[in-house]
Amino acid sequence: MISKSLIPLEPASPAHICPLDQACSYLEAAAKELNLNQGLLEILSHPRKVVTVSIPVKLDDGEIQVLAGHRVQHCDVLGPYKGGIRYHQAVTLREVSALAMLMTWKCALLGIPYGGGKGGIPIDPKRYSIGELERISRRYISELIKDIGPSVDIPAPDMGTSAREMAWMMDTYSVNVGHAVPGVVTGKPLSIGGSLGREMATGRGVMIIVREALADQGKSLAGVRVAIQGFGNVGGAAAELLYEAGAKIIAVSTGAGGIFSEVGLDIPALKIYAAENHKSIVGFPQSVAISNADLLALPCDVLIPAALENQIAEENVNRVQAQIVAEAANGPLTLEASLSLEGRGVIVLPDILANAGGVVVSYLEWVQGLSYVFWDEERVNREMEHLMVQAYHRVIQQSKKRQISLRLAAYTLGVGRVAQALTDRGLYP
């Protein structure tokens, strides 16, 4: 059993599943399969650094509000920390600790020289003006200025943040050090060193992994029935790319509800409709309303949960009828639900593989920023696809070799690479 004595203590989430406990369960399972010694397991189970900063901000009405900002740096044995910054009211230290750990395994699995990090501020960004969000972002990054940098920790957008926030953060860091530092964050606007292909990267990675899984069954994307929970940056991009490849997108959803069409949705038209209706998709012509819960239970070839964690759990896993489940979100399946689906012969494409396209293109953006040589979108997509396909086949080979699930195969590869690097580097002092 992993000791959590060094992991931030705070009241557990009211949800019945703690993301940190689940992340540690995955680590323990991989460590058992790899026969890691207890000392290595203890090192890998604890974040190297946990930073919580105070963020005083003056609101537009003159009121002073003090927020808390977190940054968890899990492991840098392979390279600088890498991970998103999220603005969401449910952000906790437990959550960002779990996500930082998962990012470590994801980067190792993909073979990119990063360790895992994650950060966030527990706010609802919709309740703040643009000016307030800028002041929050700039103060947050200035408080972390000694803990980030292009060779130390490279933040990126996440839930509730975007290229806009990354621009503010890059500028704040650059002003403080006295010169432009495009490599300090990724996911930036193109005008200040962002990468072509970054906006669609995570959704493109999902499409690639689904395509490869279907190819292993002798199928193509043409005509495949796909249901997608979530129509934001990831789910929307995946829907668009799968549609272009000939898949039939029968259902999509947002937090406000979803829509279904037996003959398939016109995704380009739906994106226009959503843009005109403030991201709402309900009421789209030639579709019927459907709940998020019912979307997960639709008969389909591929189900893509691209929204929040713990969407498929013990209470609803028996309703899932998909043949392939691709985890586009972080942790959309509980461990018990994943085991249940695998026991029924459902292919579960784990999140640290399926949604890794974003961090891969972030890495490519970082490389471009450090070299001041920028690539066209075709090259970015080609480089990303190469890394994603390689990782997929490594997971398949590991699964067959060890006779284990794809999830456990992915974790043994990620955890194993970090454990080997830690062993080779040794323990200081």
In this predicted model, what pLDDT tens digit does every residue of 43-65 receive, in sequence order? Answer: 999 999 999 999 999 999 999 99
Does 141 share its domain with 272? no
Q: Please name the residue that has the structure tokens 């090192």.
A: 43
List, in sequence order, every residue forming a beta bridge with 227; answer none if it has no partner.
Answer: 251, 303
Range of the domain at 339: 201-354
Amino acid code (one letter) for 224: V
Does 256 share its domain with 140? no
| pLDDT, tens digit (0-9, with 9 covering 90-100), for 126-177 | 999 999 999 999 999 999 999 999 999 999 999 899 999 999 999 999 999 9
Active-site residue, 118 included? yes
**Do 277 and 261 meet the contact criterion of CB atoms below 8 Å apart?**
no
Q: How many domains does the chain have?
A: 2
Q: What span, in angstroms and rounded, lies between the C-alpha atoms of 26 and 102?
A: 9
Task: Tell me if 58 is assigned to some domain.
Answer: yes
Instruction: State the average pLDDT over residues 87-112.
Output: 95
**Do 252 and 231 meet the contact criterion of CB atoms below 8 Å apart?**
yes
**pLDDT score, position 11:** 45
| pLDDT, tens digit (0-9, with 9 covering 90-100), for 85-96 | 999 999 999 999
CATH code of the domain covering residue 344: 3.40.50.720
Give the single-character DSSP code of 182: G
Does 305 share its domain with 345? yes
Task: Tell me if 137 is assigned to some domain.
Answer: yes
Q: Which of 118, 126, 279, 401 is catalytic?
A: 118
φ, ψ of residue 157 in degrees (nearest 5) = -70, 155
Task: Tell me if 361 is assigned to some domain.
Answer: no
344: pLDDT strictly greater than 90:
yes
CATH code of the domain covering residue 63: 3.40.50.10860
